[in-house]
Structure 1
Amino acid sequence: MGFADDHLIPLVDEGLGNSAHLVDLGDGRALAVDASRDLRALRAAADRRGLTVAFAADTHLHADFLSGAVQLAHDDGAAVLASAAGNRAFEHTALADGDETDLGGLTLRALATPGHTDEHVSFLLLDGTRELGVFTGGSLIVGSAARTDLLGAERAEELARAQYHSLRRLAELPDTTAVWPTHGAGSFCSAPPGAERTTTIGAQKRANTLLAAPDEDTFVRQLLGSLGSYPAYFDRLGEINRRGPAILRAAPGLTALTADQVRSLLDQGAQLVDVRPVADFAAGHIPGALSIPLREAFATWLGWLLPDTTPLVFVTGPGQDLAEIAWQAWKIGYEGLAGHLEGGMAAWTADGGPRERIDLLTADRVAERPVLDIRQAAEHGAGHIPGAVHIELGDLASRSDAAPKGAVVACGHGERAMTAASLLQRAGHRGLAVLDGGPADWAKATGRPLEEGA
């Protein structure tokens, strides 16, 4: 078959910063690469073209989402293609370096590219002897290479050295070879900012600073020096993906709960998650609720801040998508979803439930109040309100005592700051406020420059 550009269908998860890929094989069958457990977008793309997924390939044991490969094998009869070194505990075609799979006109060749993980492979798509493109997963990505510390800080350098050799192996492919990474901008597994999610070998040889490193030691220093923090749930999912996620027999959902049922669940140790927009949470929320506004990054912060063993009760606002909440939770292995408060805050208030609030301040009202910046270290270093105390949101629960009293909490826009303020309020802080906006808004409102550096 001839391979046209529209035979490759990218499926971008903006919240996790990842791309799965669906390849139309031209005969009613498809190849899925690095598909998530949330298969809604992939199913829709396959249905539009009348495709059945015949092959499901995973480049590595993913840490940031549960793989959909086992589900595709169950539902579609897809053959799962994965590295033999991954020792997966479910039926799959175990591939060693150089092994090829006939896709019916096209060929998929496994290339061992360890670094991001031990067992990482890239998949080279061939039309005869012509290299069409390579699915690089968390090896070569646009402008960088994926992190090498997911198996522990003590192995980060060893894996960075493996990553060096993997990238140079990939760079030996023809310059015209397309590069289709899984991790991209927004992924905590990688990745520099930028809009591009695909590239070519030639473009990366010209522009990727890691590929331009003059030697292995320089590469290792650059890669390890670029690593920031990553969500706590990353430490759990690799092993679940090795064993194989549980098959979903039906789409996940949320049970409707009365106010009394919510109280009972909270008494038994459930966690309340309020997914309403920042302004709604600020105006009034149930005491002890954690604010995680429902948006593309919802799963990241749910998995970073809460254990997967605690039953979760959700407070929603009018029109919010209950299915989206459930799918975002399930794709990272959060299956203990107790339900949602039917009728939202109006039902809680009508039942006599108490409320708390948090002030939401525009940038011109911050004045001389202490500021707590809860963004990632790189964001903070690029420009923050002078004198701001910096504690990353992911560290805040264990460091709440270090937060200034009566702080104005700041992030880039307000969503993460409200999450942080709700954590602090739950820990006993009072008089908190959240900056409606970010440091750039403060600089514009005050005419004062931001401060750079740690």
Structure 2
Amino acid sequence: MSTDFTLVPVVDEGLGNSTYLLDVGQGRALVLDPERDLRQVRAEAERRNLRIAYAVETHLHADFISGAHELAAVDGAVVLAPDVGPRGFEVTALADGDTVDLGAFTLEALFTPGHSPEHLSYLLRAGDRLLGVFTGGSLMVGTAGRTDLVSPDRTVPLARAQYRSLQKLMELPDGTPVWPTHGAGSFCSSTLTGERVSTIGRERATNPLLQVAGEDEFVAALLGSLGTFPDYFLRLGEINHKGPAVLGATPTLPTLTAGDVRDLIADGAQVVDTREATDYAAGHLPGALSITLRPVFATWFGWLVDPNRPVVIVRAADQDPDDIAWETAKVGFDSLAGELDGGMFAWPDDEVATVALLDADHLAATDPVTVLDVRQRGEFTTGHLPGALHIELGALSRHLNQVPGRPVVVMCGHGERAMGAASILEQAGHRDVRVLDGCPADYARAVGQSLQVDK
């Protein structure tokens, strides 16, 4: 990355995305692919005495609510975005070859469909110098954006378009910096890698999807690498197209008495417990869904929580309610019913449910059970207990009939997803559920087995 201009990546480790803040001169900044939680982006701009003058989007995002509309309404930013027809808010629509004069820089739109039909990459220039390319969800480090987020009938055509888009990007000089939006941890990515920025030359030499013999082989490789993705991806694009509600400030999380919570539950509300798995295990509201507040909280909240029912939060005293409100707003939950005032201390002890959270050695000493592994398919195939039942956490609610009624041990990579699965099983009436405090390898060691690897 050149040292004669200021480009700051603001990384959301949970969603696996990078928002870019660029100083374009005269006290102005450009923000590319902003998320709805703008606290960190605004802090970076304020630290540099910059006003956010432009909000740029590479595509209609499916994995988060965009912050572009918020920046336009609150900060007065000009929104630059691909032309997808009339939106619910003012946008300067760009097409292939369009340029925007930013003063010291020029932004040039490059049509790179594939991850989405309208996807644009942006070349950043300073005079005749090419400084780099923002590739959004097209070319990523070691991979490319998935093409199955629009509709099943468009997955293959978009994969073919993705191949051609990558070939177009390969026409850029080898030294061109590549600044993708999606990266490690993003479900929009077809594979995982820890790097977030690259160069055209490096990708040309090392990206597996650029080593294929041709378009057909590329399509097979890309589609063969795709795992599942959260259901909410299928509805956020339209919200971003129409224009999400402008929040203006942190959404409120009203306090609720135990009586209020009982009334809400009776009217169909759902309870989400954001505390650590150990705290949930020791005592929780019966039927509460366990989703630990951690970097991937927003993804699992959007995946597991019903958007059509009120949500009551139970949190730990040291968990910031603002963080919870923004994380949920990022995936389309603009307003929550509130939180239990005082947390679990406000709930009667005789109305508290528990779940067994045991280490591998203690679990191994219990009676034979059904082992349920709720990790993603790619994790499961790299090593699992022989005979383990595999149902991904995101699909568990739809496949409860596959889980036997006898005692169940639930496992994942660390314990948080397993506790989420245990809470879903509890809601479905399972009463003898045990959660592994650890990973499958720990349990395999304790029971004297080797992990099975699927070819």
Same fold (TM over 0.5): yes
Aligned to 2:344: 345
Aligned to 1:376: 376
| Mapped pair 1:19 → 2:2 | no
User: 1:67 aligns to what SS in structure 2?
Assistant: coil
The amino acid that maps onto 2:424 is L
Q: For residue 75 of structure 1, report the CA deviation from its aligned partner.
A: 1.8
Aligned to 1:393: 393
Deviations 1:281-310 (A, max 9, x none): 011111110000111111111111122121
Task: Figure out how many residues of one structure are paired with residues of the other and give that number.
Answer: 451
CA contact (8 A) 1:85 1:96 kept: no
The amino acid that maps onto 2:354 is R
Q: Aligned partners of 1:128 and 1:191: how far apart in 2? A: 35
Q: For residue 192 of structure 1, report the CA deviation from its aligned partner.
A: 2.5
Q: Aligned partners of 1:412 and 1:77: how far apart in 2? A: 44
Aligned to 1:249: 248
The amino acid that maps onto 2:451 is L
Larger mean Cα displacement after TM superposition, 62-71 or 365-374: 365-374
Q: For residue 88 of structure 1, report the CA deviation from its aligned partner.
A: 2.8
Normalised by the length of structure 1, the TM-score is 0.97
| Mapped pair 1:448 → 2:449 | yes
CA contact (8 A) 1:10 1:21 kept: yes
Q: For residue 248 of structure 1, report the CA deviation from its aligned partner.
A: 1.2
Q: For residue 336 of structure 1, report the CA deviation from its aligned partner.
A: 3.4
Q: For residue 127 of structure 1, report the CA deviation from its aligned partner.
A: 1.2
CA contact (8 A) 1:174 1:201 kept: yes
Q: Aligned partners of 1:212 and 1:27: how far apart in 2? A: 43
Aligned to 2:416: 415
Aligned to 1:225: 224
User: 1:150 aligns to what SS in structure 2?
Assistant: coil
Deviations 1:250-297 (A, max 9, x none): 211211111000001101111000001000101111111000011111
1:386–1:39 distance in 2 versus 1, CA, 3 Å: same
CA contact (8 A) 1:164 1:216 kept: yes
Aligned to 1:294: 293
CA contact (8 A) 1:385 1:439 kept: yes
Q: For residue 440 of structure 1, report the CA deviation from its aligned partner.
A: 2.4
User: 2:323 aligns to what SS in structure 1?
Assistant: helix
Aligned to 1:202: 201
1:52-451 paired onto structure 2 within 5 Å: 52-85=51-84, 87-349=86-348, 354-367=351-364, 368-404=368-404, 405-451=406-452
CA contact (8 A) 1:376 1:392 kept: yes
Larger mean Cα displacement after TM superposition, 259-268 or 123-132: 123-132
Larger mean Cα displacement after TM superposition, 49-58 or 435-444: 435-444
Deviations 1:364-389 (A, max 9, x none): 23324321001111110010112110
CA contact (8 A) 2:252 2:335 kept: no
User: 2:26 aligns to what SS in structure 1?
Assistant: coil
1:353–1:137 distance in 2 versus 1, CA, 3 Å: farther
Q: For residue 71 of structure 1, report the CA deviation from its aligned partner.
A: 1.0
The amino acid that maps onto 2:293 is L
User: 1:85 aligns to what SS in structure 2?
Assistant: coil
Normalised by the length of structure 2, the TM-score is 0.97
CA contact (8 A) 2:253 2:325 kept: yes
1:337–1:200 distance in 2 versus 1, CA, 3 Å: same
Q: For residue 239 of structure 1, report the CA deviation from its aligned partner.
A: 0.5
The amino acid that maps onto 1:282 is A
CA contact (8 A) 2:190 2:226 kept: no
1:6–1:323 distance in 2 versus 1, CA, 3 Å: farther
Q: For residue 401 of structure 1, report the CA deviation from its aligned partner.
A: 1.6
Q: Aligned partners of 1:130 and 1:52: how far apart in 2? A: 25
Aligned to 1:7: 6
1:160–1:87 distance in 2 versus 1, CA, 3 Å: farther
Sequence identity (%): 57
Q: Aligned partners of 2:235 and 2:87: how far apart in 1? A: 15
The amino acid that maps onto 2:75 is D
Q: For residue 85 of structure 1, report the CA deviation from its aligned partner.
A: 3.4
CA contact (8 A) 2:70 2:248 kept: no
Q: For residue 211 of structure 1, report the CA deviation from its aligned partner.
A: 1.1
Q: For residue 444 of structure 1, report the CA deviation from its aligned partner.
A: 4.2
Unaligned runs of 5+ in 1: none
Unaligned runs of 5+ in 2: none
Q: Aligned partners of 1:6 and 1:311: how far apart in 2? A: 46
Q: For residue 447 of structure 1, report the CA deviation from its aligned partner.
A: 5.0
The amino acid that maps onto 1:408 is V
CA contact (8 A) 1:310 1:336 kept: no
The amino acid that maps onto 2:300 is W
User: 1:397 aligns to what SS in structure 2?
Assistant: helix
Q: Aligned partners of 1:313 and 1:85: how far apart in 2? A: 36
CA contact (8 A) 1:286 1:353 kept: no
The amino acid that maps onto 2:74 is D
Q: Aligned partners of 2:248 and 2:84: how far apart in 1? A: 29
The amino acid that maps onto 2:394 is G
Q: Aligned partners of 1:211 and 1:89: how far apart in 2? A: 38
User: 1:337 aligns to what SS in structure 2?
Assistant: coil
Aligned to 1:45: 44
Q: For residue 152 of structure 1, report the CA deviation from its aligned partner.
A: 1.3
The amino acid that maps onto 1:427 is A
Deviations 1:196-251 (A, max 9, x none): 10000000001001111110000000000111110011000000101111111321
Q: Aligned partners of 1:190 and 1:249: how far apart in 2? A: 31
